[in-house]
Structure 1
Amino acid sequence: METTGRRLRADAERSVRTILEAAERLLSENPGATMEQIAEAAGVARTTVHRRFASREALVETMATSAWQEISEAVDAARPHTAPPLIAMHQATANVLQIKSGWRFALGTLPPPGEEAARIYDEVMAKCDVVFTRALEAGILRPGTDLLWARQVYLALISEVVHGSPAAGPRSADDPDALAALVIDTLLYGLAPR
């Protein structure tokens, strides 16, 4: 993790991670939280936060970059280029659901703030497109499927799982595999009987 272009010492890296986690918790509850409130929630001095992050915007950009880097690694772990497309789609979905639930604020803005986060986001979308293209070629998606629309619906389903209303009923929040199966099943078959 880097915040100023150079590698941090292990203790400084832990301090930054603590600040990012506290900022995520606090900003998810109160998007108007100040740097001082974030420092207090992280259990560090205000000067420590300001030394690591020049501004609130820099903190939010670092949060987004960290979150999107985790998403990118989670998608890579699903082997989008080599695993059978349905397996890659399921595994990437389960992995992403786990990460998105911990970064609701940081991942809540599209496009993500900052050049680095936006670059990583674009890479993730390209990997998603690879899986959808492979799914189309394998006959998992019907011929002529608009892949951009399919991706948009897929991402909306993931967002609904993470951010949806609690009134929607139980979702087995502790079971990302069950949620991933629900997302993929809904994407591929909708609500019609099979």
Structure 2
Amino acid sequence: MRADAARNLDAVLHTGARLLAEDSGTSIARIAAEAGVDRRTVYRRFTTRESLLAAVYQAKLDASEEALDQARLTEAPVAVALHRYVESIIPVSRRWPLDIRRLMQQDPEAHERAEAQRARLAAFVRRAADEGLVRSDLPDGWAMALLGRLVDNAAHDFLDLAPGPAADLVVATFLEGVGGPS
């Protein structure tokens, strides 16, 4: 792919992710205009908004997979791996703000990929509990849900926090809570 074509595709995907997260009915023409490309350029690659949306989700899944790989969830110490994961997934979430659950209902392959990623993270959270860093008496899924909410809050509600300091807060909150000394 030519460099300008790659830049255009990147602009279309990121603009599409942002605009479709704001309004799922956003037109391809608007996405093209805000991405700075001709709408025919977009239509050559994506014949429908749904095909563009599927490409955005695939890009988000690719970026999420890379964040999981870089964290070394099975090899690194839990706190280190958790920090690596959170620090790298926050930019992914900011760059690709669409909720992946929306696509999972329509695309079995994307659903399978997302579930495999979720399973990797769940195994990591179980490892954290097995090593005593997360309470083992919590209801099933509680720690995973909490981690997801903390990451989501850091990524979307605290945009002024860079990924590193945001990861510091998420990890400290996840592993230590928010209560002060008694």
The TM-score range, normalised by the shorter chain, is 0.7 to 0.9
Decide whether the 8 Å contact of 1:72 with 1:123 is kept in 2: no
Q: Which residue of 2 aligns with 1:101?
A: 94
Is structure 2 residue 130 aligned with structure 1 residue 143?
A: no
Whole-Å Cα distance in 1 between the matches of residues 127 and 120 of structure 2? 11
> Are 2:112 and 1:112 equivalent residues in the alignment?
no
What TM-score do you get using the length of structure 1 for normalisation? 0.80
- Residue of structure 1 equivalent to 2:2: 10
Q: Tell me: CA distance 1:173–1:121, structure 2 relative to 1, closer, same or farther (3 Å).
A: farther
Query: How is 1:37-186 mapped onto 2 (pairs within 5 angstroms)?
Result: 37-104=30-97, 106=98, 108-113=99-104, 114-164=107-157, 171=158, 173-186=160-173
Q: What's the RMSD between the two structures over aligned residues?
A: 2.2
Distance in 1 between residues matched to 2:163 and 2:47, nearest whole Å: 36
Q: Once the two structures are aligned, what percentage of the paired residues are identical? A: 28
Q: Which whole-Å CA distance do the structure 2 matches of 1:159 and 1:178 have between them? A: 15
Aligned residue-pair number: 178
Distance 1:85 1:142 in 2: 14
Deviation at 1:32, TM superposition (A): 3.0
Higher helix fraction (1 or 2): 2
**Counterpart-to-counterpart distance in 1, 2:134 and 2:36:** 50
Cα deviation, residue 109, structure 1: 4.3
Partners of 2:57 and 2:92 in 1: CA distance:
12
Cα distance, 1:176–1:124 mapped onto 2, change above 3 Å: same
Tell me which amino acid in the other structure corresponds to 1:50: Y
Identify if the C-alpha distance between structure 1 residues 67 and 172 changes in structure 2 by more than 3 Å, giving closer, same or farther: closer
Amino acid at match of 2:57: A
Compute the displacement of 1:75 (Å).
1.5
Judge conservation of contact 1:136–1:145 (CA < 8 Å) in 2: no
Gaps of 5+ in 1: 1-8, 165-170
Give the partner amino acid of 1:160.
Answer: N
CA contact (8 A) 2:122 2:144 kept: yes
Q: Deviations over 1:20-49 (max 9, x none)?
A: 122234334544321111122222222221
* Moved >6 Å (runs of 4+): none
Task: Pick closer, same or farther for the CA change 1:111–1:80 going to 2, 3 Å.
Answer: farther
Residue equivalent to 2:27: 34
Give the letter aligned to residue 166 of structure 2: L
In structure 2, the gaps of 5 or more residues are none
Alignment partner of 1:110: what SS? Answer: helix
